């Protein structure tokens, strides 16, 4: 192709065209988004097997976005991620092989170390993939907001609760959309065009969170979406989109990256608001 896009530009193109893709191509698009840091290591047959499609569908997907074939598309990911992705991937593989090689059941300590290592690897990926432009846009969005509504359900609820706690140490009016009594719609109905909803959700994406983003859009409010993919259903109405992929071990995803990102958002907002952020430990005479 004449002008080779960057990975971010390609993923933006995929996100823009996602709704019009066939079912097979949507499956491939989701796979590409979720495995973008390791795609340059995979064979077309492996990707086809994971997506339960024929290799020709992978080629068709690449041509959909202007490439001559899979190899040319794969080169975009190889050029962007070889330096940073291979060490992390090999480190994870070494840990996995070490665990698989153990003839006896794992101890609690070894399981903890595996999970900590996965979380640390996830933080490295968060750092390497940090989008400064989007992050700064998120801070500005919160700075201008008259009211901030926060929604996160199930595994995202602790993250939502934390950012509400942190933001309450600013002069912003902050509301946790808890859905207590099934009243999420009632809790968000007063949102206005000068307000922001922070929506936090990861696959399979909470229906309540999606509903809040749609309602915010209907009321002309802004949305700061924190999710795991540009192809997330929440991305459609996002004013600002921050993507977070968590490290995982034993089929259990951590919350480390999302929690770290939310802490960084609060600190950056507090700095911009020229706040004196008190030492955590004693606030208004109460210990945490």
151 lies in the same domain as 279: yes
Helix 256-272 crosses helix 157-167 at what angle (to 10 degrees)?
20
- Cβ within 8 Å of residue 85, ≥6 positions away: 37, 38, 40
Lowest mean pLDDT among 36-40, 183-187, 257-261: 36-40
Q: Is 223 strand, coil or helix?
A: strand
φ, ψ at 227 (rounded to 5°): -150, -175
70 lies in the same domain as 136: no
- The total number of structural domains in the chain stands at 2
In a domain, 220, yes or no: yes
pLDDT at 201 over 60: yes
Q: Is the distance from CB of 142 to CB of 174 less than 8 angstroms?
A: no
More confident residue, 130 or 197: 197
Mean pLDDT over 203-231 rounds to 86
- Is the bond preceding 182 in cis, omega lying within 30 degrees of 0? no
Mean pLDDT over 186-191 rounds to 84
46 lies in the same domain as 162: no
More confident residue, 216 or 119: 216
150 lies in the same domain as 273: yes
Average pLDDT, the chain: 80
As a three-state string, the secondary structure of 203-218 is CCCCHHHHHHHHHHHH
In a domain, 276, yes or no: yes
Mean pLDDT over 99-127 rounds to 73
Task: Tell me the residue range of the domain where 204 lies.
Answer: 132-287
Lowest mean pLDDT among 20-34, 174-188, 256-270, 271-285: 271-285
Identify the residue whose tokens are 């896009």.
Answer: 5
34 lies in the same domain as 141: no
pLDDT at 8 over 50: yes
| 152-163 per-position pLDDT tens digit | 888 889 999 999
Calpha distance 234→236 (Å, rounded): 6
Percentage of the chain exceeding pLDDT 90 = 15
Lowest mean pLDDT among 5-9, 36-40, 51-55, 152-156: 36-40
In a domain, 189, yes or no: yes
Residue that is last in its domain, among 75, 102, 118: 75
141 lies in the same domain as 279: yes
Mean pLDDT over 66-70 rounds to 88
Burial 12-33 (b: 16+ CB within 10 A, else e): eebbeebeebeebbbbbbbbbb
Burial 49-78 (b: 16+ CB within 10 A, else e): eebebeeebbbbbbebbebeebeebbebbe
Q: Is 243 strand, coil or helix?
A: strand
In a domain, 113, yes or no: no
In a domain, 244, yes or no: yes
In a domain, 112, yes or no: no
CATH of residue 40's domain is: 1.10.10.10
pLDDT at 53 over 60: yes
Calpha distance 267→275 (Å, rounded): 9
């Amino acid at each position: 192709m004449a002008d080779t896009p960057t990975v971010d530009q390609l993923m933006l193109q995929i996100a823009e065209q996602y709704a019009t893709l066939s079912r097979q191509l949507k499956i491939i698009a989701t796979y590409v988004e979720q495995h973008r840091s390791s795609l340059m290591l995979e064979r077309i047959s492996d990707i086809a097997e994971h997506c339960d499609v024929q290799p020709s569908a992978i080629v068709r997907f690449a041509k959909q976005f202007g490439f001559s074939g899979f190899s040319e598309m794969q080169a975009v990911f190889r050029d962007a991620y070889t330096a940073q992705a291979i060490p992390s991937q090999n480190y994870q593989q070494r840990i996995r092989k070490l665990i698989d090689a153990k003839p006896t059941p794992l101890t609690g300590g070894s399981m903890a170390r595996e999970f900590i290592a996965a979380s640390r690897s996830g933080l490295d990926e968060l750092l390497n993939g940090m989008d400064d432009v989007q992050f700064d846009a998120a801070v500005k969005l919160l700075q201008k907001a008259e009211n901030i509504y926060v929604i996160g359900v199930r595994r995202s609820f602790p993250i939502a609760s934390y950012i509400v706690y942190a933001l309450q140490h600013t002069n912003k009016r902050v509301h946790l959309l808890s859905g207590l009594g099934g009243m999420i719609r009632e809790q968000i109905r007063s949102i206005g065009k000068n307000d922001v909803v922070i929506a936090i959700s990861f696959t399979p994406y909470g229906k309540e969170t999606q509903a809040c983003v749609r309602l915010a859009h209907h009321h002309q409010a802004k949305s700061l979406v924190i999710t795991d993919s540009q192809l997330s259903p929440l991305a459609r109405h996002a004013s600002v989109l921050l993507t977070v992929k968590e490290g995982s071990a034993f089929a259990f995803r951590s919350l480390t990256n999302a929690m770290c990102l939310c802490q960084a958002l609060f600190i950056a907002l507090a700095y911009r608001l020229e706040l004196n952020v008190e030492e955590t430990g004693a606030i208004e005479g109460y210990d945490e």
